Amino acid sequence: MKRVFNFSAGPAVLPEEVLREAAAEMLDYRGTGMSVMEMSHRSSAFQTIIDEAEQDIRDLLGIPANYKVLFLQGGAHTQFAMVPMNLMRNRVADYILTGNWAKKAADEAAIFGKVNIVASSKEATYTYIPDLSDLPIDEDADYVYICQNNTIYGTTIKQLPNTKGKDLVSDVSSMFLSEPMDVTKYGLVYGGVQKNVGPAGVVIAIIREDLIRDDVLPGTPTMLKYKTHADAKSLYNTPPCYNIYMCGKVFKWLKAIGGLEVMKERNEKKAKLLYDFLDSSSLFKGTVRACDRSLMNVPFVTGDKDLDAKFVSEATAAGLVNLKGHRSVGGMRASLYNAMPYEGVKALVEFMENFEKENS
């Protein structure tokens, strides 16, 4: 068996300890004689798994009692619709465009009501975060929407927008649990887990109780109401049991290493290693304004398409995989999620140093 360093933007690397534990429990989960995959979602064994998962993420983020934690399905894309269907009571919302995922969310919301684009960096291919301190927030806006870490472009919103009293909704898919987060600054935070938390198939939504209401947009299906899932404690229908179990293991892994402060320090250390190299390199360049750089997703280019392709293919042969950039940016992208070890980033930087020597 040989594990590679997997720099995929998602689905992405998981902690090896977690995978080993899951493997050991595959055939007989703690004396039940079956795998978690084979277990009823109404069993007491699974109830314990989901209860502990909820408690552990509450502990990690310090989630207050007036926020619900929901384990949902349908990916972040389903949230692009659920957010307006549940929150757009005046049928107006303000969106901040910092990349493709924010754009897709805004386009989906426009099916249901009026969408104001109150800030955008589209004109510069989303290579920076606009100033969000004084936006033309609509008086009637039901919420202000951001995508906090832009997976494709490699930017992070570090200063949350001044929403002028409106509820903030944030897609944190690609930075979920990478650092502490003050949940009380948001009305709703959600993330698909396949970037930083677990296997694809679960979206975790953290939502303030007063936003969970019956008076959603007319025609909203039962499965797309937050209230349905809040009332049923995420067991309205069969949830993705195995994936929730894996997320729970990742939460316990995070707690065991010391929580999100420690995780953040590790992530900063990894990102610094790569960014420092990019800043000193004569061949490779980061594509993002320095103050807006993401700790999670690091896009870079050589400026020469053929050389980029050569880099990606030689890196793959060296066990550094999934470094090809998103098709809308080109070049390369290294995703340095929680489970990417420091050694992986070190190996990448050493590889880049050698590649630079050989190709300049």
Ligand X SMILES: *Cc1c(COP(=O)(O)O)cnc(C)c1O
Cβ partners under 8 Å of residue 53, min gap 6:
71, 244, 245, 247, 248, 251
Q: In the stretch 103-142, what mask flags binding to ligand X with x, by CB under 6 A?
A: ----------------------------------------
Phi then psi dihedrals of residue 113, to 5 deg:
-170, -165
User: For ligand X, which stretch binds (CB under 6 A), given 54-62, 70-78, 135-143, 155-163?
Assistant: 70-78
Our finding on whether 75 is near ligand X (CB under 6 A) is yes
Closest approach, Cβ 173 to ligand X, in A, equals 4
Q: Where are the beta strands (DSSP E) in the chain?
A: 5-6, 67-72, 92-97, 114-120, 144-147, 149-150, 155-156, 168-171, 188-192, 203-208, 285-286, 297-301, 320-321, 332-335
Residues 137 and 94: beta-carbon distance below 8 Å: yes
Closest approach, Cβ 210 to ligand X, in A, equals 25
Closest approach, Cβ 281 to ligand X, in A, equals 26
Pairing of strands 332-335, 297-301: antiparallel
CB neighbour class for 298 (10 Å; exposed up to 12, middle 13-18, buried from 19): buried
Tokens of 333: 């992208």
Q: To 10 degrees, the CA torsion angle through 278, 284, 290, 295? A: -60
Pairing of strands 188-192, 203-208: antiparallel
Nearer to ligand X, 54 or 171 (CB): 171
Closest approach, Cβ 356 to ligand X, in A, equals 29
Closest approach, Cβ 101 to ligand X, in A, equals 4
What gap in Å lies between CA 299 and CA 157, rounded to an integer?
16
Tokens of 152: 């494709």
Residues annotated as part of the active site = 101, 171, 195
Nearer to ligand X, 146 or 207 (CB): 146
Closest approach, Cβ 82 to ligand X, in A, equals 12
Residues 147 and 99: beta-carbon distance below 8 Å: yes
Q: Binders of ligand X among 5-44, rule CB under 6 A? A: 10
Nearer to ligand X, 43 or 73 (CB): 73
Count the site residues for ligand X by CB under 6 A: 12
Nearer to ligand X, 148 or 302 (CB): 148
Nearer to ligand X, 10 or 352 (CB): 10
CB environment 316-331: b (16+ within 10 A), e (fewer): eebebebbbbbeebeb
How far, CA to CA in Å, does 11 sit from each of 197, 199, 322? 10, 7, 11
User: For ligand X, which stretch binds (CB under 6 A), given 16-24, 45-53, 74-82, 320-328?
Assistant: 74-82
Closest approach, Cβ 33 to ligand X, in A, equals 33
How far, CA to CA in Å, does 351 sit from each of 102, 198, 285, 305, 317? 34, 28, 15, 18, 11
Nearer to ligand X, 10 or 84 (CB): 10
Q: Binders of ligand X among 139-198, rule CB under 6 A? A: 147, 151, 171, 173-174, 192, 195
What single DSSP character describes residue 293? B
Closest approach, Cβ 176 to ligand X, in A, equals 9
User: For ligand X, which stretch binds (CB under 6 A), given 42-50, 63-71, 75-83, 332-340?
Assistant: 75-83
Nearer to ligand X, 55 or 78 (CB): 78
User: For ligand X, which stretch binds (CB under 6 A), given 71-79, 121-129, 132-140, 350-358?
Assistant: 71-79
Provide the CB-side half-sphere exposure for 126 (13 A, CA): 23
Provide the binding-site residues for ligand X, judged by CB under 6 A.
Answer: 10, 75-77, 101, 147, 151, 171, 173-174, 192, 195
